[in-house]
């Protein structure tokens, strides 16, 4: 069997769902189809949540817009009526009912209870349309089989508890394909959780791992994985093949094209990943495998914005490396700050981190008694994998470089953002 994943852009309207159906009908093998919320529905649900938490009734207008959007898509797909419409109506009614409750719990919890609806609605409509088109498809609510812990908004999968459940439900005994939700899961107590923004990629990889899939395909609005974000570099080019290692390095360095947790479940079972365009489904796309056979290697450019470069110097001149390193990094971890680059010398440590303001400030204030701290905000982290001189010149020209770090395969620069 194979896993297909369709992101929000591929299912933003009725035409997108018809296109998905045509892609799926060409597949001969059994399929698990993982689907995101329609278009920008997740952002829209975040607005509902924000308005609701702020109090008052304005959240209702946001919700009505989302409802009209889904109703219009369903109307176009099923002009003579269909049970999908009734199920969508019921599901919206449930969410409205939920939002009437007086006592609100903490943000992350409420986020997951509200925002997870986007994937429920999209999959109800998609599954119904596949059935209407004569495909032997079943809709599965993944929340009762993909179990997670209670770290709402960034839930971790309970692998032992989930694997058996997933294998039992997705057993292909009665159906040749299943449509299910990306991005969401459930706790043992039946509460909804989410896996972090753009988490549908991760869901697809988890499903592939648990079901021992032959491959996973992500259908995206780009021709494959590119050697740079095309919004940044207009001449970005498609990579034919890439190793798992490379893909992990890319997401770690800030490439937003894959969810960072996606590769591990695939690498662990050696399952190939294909990234292809839903606009040109017959084109080859990019293949991510353990050892690519490619001969031509392009430099890969990755930019991570909104960084802060912090220099930490022990006031007593004690050696940064031996005496202070573990204590300092422990503090970063405790404050939930992700370290993107480290450079250490005898008496100082430079660290480049995401500029997550309240967290960074708490960290700095707990260091300030023992360390002098200098920092550069408004920085960006630029990485080039498989660099050459031309690639370096391109990146460093017109930039004020604060720090650079080079290994055989990668060069990284922290630059002041211009
Ligand atoms: N719908 C979710 C989001 O927009 C998950 C996903 O698209 O992967 O973040
Ligand atoms: Mg998406």
Question: Is residue 97 a part of any domain in this protein?
Answer: yes
Question: Is residue 246 a part of any domain in this protein?
Answer: yes
Tokens at residue 304, please?
């991570």
Residue 262 and residue 267: Cα distance in Å, rounded?
9
pLDDT band (50, 70, 90) for residue 100 = very high
393 Cα–ligand 2 center, Å: 34
The one-character DSSP state at 9 is G
Residue 87 and residue 72: Cα distance in Å, rounded?
14
Backbone dihedral region for residue 367 (phi beyond 0: left; psi -120 to 50: alpha; all else: beta): alpha
Residue 10 and residue 40: Cα distance in Å, rounded?
11
Q: Where are the alpha helices (DSSP H) in 141-199?
A: 159-169
Task: Yes or no: say if 351 and 376 are a contact pair by the CB < 8 Å rule.
Answer: no
Tokens at residue 59, please?
């959240």
- Per-residue pLDDT reduced to its tens digit, 171-219: 999 999 999 999 999 999 999 999 999 999 999 999 999 999 999 999 9
What Cα–Cα distance (Å) separates residue 376 from each residue in 43, 351, 410?
A: 31, 11, 23
Question: Is residue 294 a part of any domain in this protein?
Answer: no
Return the residue whose CA atom lies nearest to atom 5 of ligand 1. Answer: 198
Return the residue whose CA atom lies nearest to atom 8 of ligand 1. Answer: 198
Least confident of 109-123, 262-276, 363-377: 363-377
Average pLDDT estimate for 89-108: 94
Pairing of strands 177-181, 137-140: parallel
pLDDT: which is higher, 36 or 339 = 36
**Residue 42 CA: which ligand is closest?**
1
Domain-ending residue, one of 270, 289, 308: 289
For residue 363, give the CATH number of its domain. Answer: 3.30.2130.10
Question: Is residue 176 a part of any domain in this protein?
Answer: yes
Nearest atom of ligand 1 to the alpha carbon of 43: 4
Question: Is residue 385 a part of any domain in this protein?
Answer: yes
Nearest atom of ligand 1 to the alpha carbon of 37: 1
The tally of domains found in the chain comes to: 2
Starting from the edge strand earliest in sequence, which strands make up the sheet with 2-6, in order? 137-140, 177-181, 31-35, 2-6, 215-220, 273-277, 286-289, 241-243
Report the alpha-carbon angle 258-379-376, nearest 5.
140
Around ion ligand 2, which residues have CB less than 5 A away? 7-8, 36
Residues with C-beta less than 6 Å from any ligand 1 atom = 7-8, 36-37, 42, 118, 182-183, 197-200
On whether both 46 and 94 belong to a single domain, the answer is yes
Q: Find tokens 């940064």 and name the residue.
A: 320
Tokens at residue 244, please?
């798992």
Q: What is the pTM of this model?
A: 0.88
Nearest atom of ligand 1 to the alpha carbon of 40: 4
Domain-ending residue, one of 234, 256, 289: 289
The whole domain housing 353 covers 300-417
Residue 117 and residue 11: Cα distance in Å, rounded?
15
Domain-ending residue, one of 256, 289, 322: 289
Task: Yes or no: say if 36 and 6 are a contact pair by the CB < 8 Å rule.
Answer: yes
**Residue 41 CA: which ligand is closest?**
1
Nearest atom of ligand 1 to the alpha carbon of 8: 7
Question: Is residue 355 a part of any domain in this protein?
Answer: yes
Cβ of 385: how many Cβ atoms within 10 Å? 22
On whether both 280 and 348 belong to a single domain, the answer is no
Half-sphere exposure of 82 (CA within 13 A, CB side): 22
Question: Is residue 47 a part of any domain in this protein?
Answer: yes
Least confident of 18-22, 166-170, 251-255, 386-390: 251-255
């Amino acid at each position: 069997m194979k896993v297909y994943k369709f992101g929000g852009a591929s299912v933003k309207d009725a035409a997108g769902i018809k296109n998905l159906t045509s892609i799926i009908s060409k597949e001969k093998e059994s399929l698990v189809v993982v689907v995101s919320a329609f278009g920008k529905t997740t952002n829209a649900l975040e607005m509902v949540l924000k308005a609701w938490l702020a109090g008052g009734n304005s959240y209702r207008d946001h919700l009505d817009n989302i409802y009209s959007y889904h109703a219009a898509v369903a109307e176009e797909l099923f002009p003579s009526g269909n049970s999908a419409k009734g199920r969508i109506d019921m599901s919206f009614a449930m969410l409205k009912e939920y939002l009437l409750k007086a006592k609100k719990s903490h943000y992350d919890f409420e986020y997951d209870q509200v925002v997870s609806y986007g994937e429920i609605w999209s999959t109800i409509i998609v599954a119904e349309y596949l059935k209407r088109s004569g495909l032997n498809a079943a809709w599965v609510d993944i929340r009762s089989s993909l179990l997670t812990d209670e770290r709402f908004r960034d839930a971790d999968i309970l692998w032992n508890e989930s694997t058996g459940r997933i294998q039992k439900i997705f057993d292909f005994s009665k159906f040749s394909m299943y449509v299910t939700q990306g991005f969401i899961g459930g706790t043992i107590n039946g509460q909804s959780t989410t896996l972090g923004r753009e988490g549908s990629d991760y869901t697809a990889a988890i499903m592939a791992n648990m079901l021992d899939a032959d491959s996973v395909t992500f259908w995206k609005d780009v021709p494959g994985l590119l050697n740079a974000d095309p919004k940044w570099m207009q001449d970005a080019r498609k990579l034919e093949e890439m190793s798992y290692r490379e893909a992990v390095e890319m997401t770690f360095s800030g490439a937003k094209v894959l969810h960072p947790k996606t590769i591990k479940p695939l690498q662990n079972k050696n399952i190939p990943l294909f990234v292809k365009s839903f606009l040109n489904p017959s084109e080859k796309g990019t293949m991510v495998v353990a050892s690519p056979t490619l001969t031509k290697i392009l430099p890969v450019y990755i930019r991570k914005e909104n960084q802060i470069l912090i220099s930490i110097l022990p006031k007593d001149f004690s050696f940064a490396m031996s005496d202070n390193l573990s204590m300092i990094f422990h503090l970063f971890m405790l404050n939930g700050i992700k370290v993107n680059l480290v450079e250490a010398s005898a008496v100082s440590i430079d660290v480049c981190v995401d500029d997550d303001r309240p967290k960074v400030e708490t960290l700095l204030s707990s260091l300030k008694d023992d360390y002098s701290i200098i920092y550069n905000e408004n920085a960006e982290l630029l990485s080039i994998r498989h660099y050459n001189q031309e690639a370096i010149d391109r990146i460093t020209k017109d930039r004020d470089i604060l720090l650079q770090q080079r290994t055989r395969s990668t060069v990284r620069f922290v630059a002041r953002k211009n």
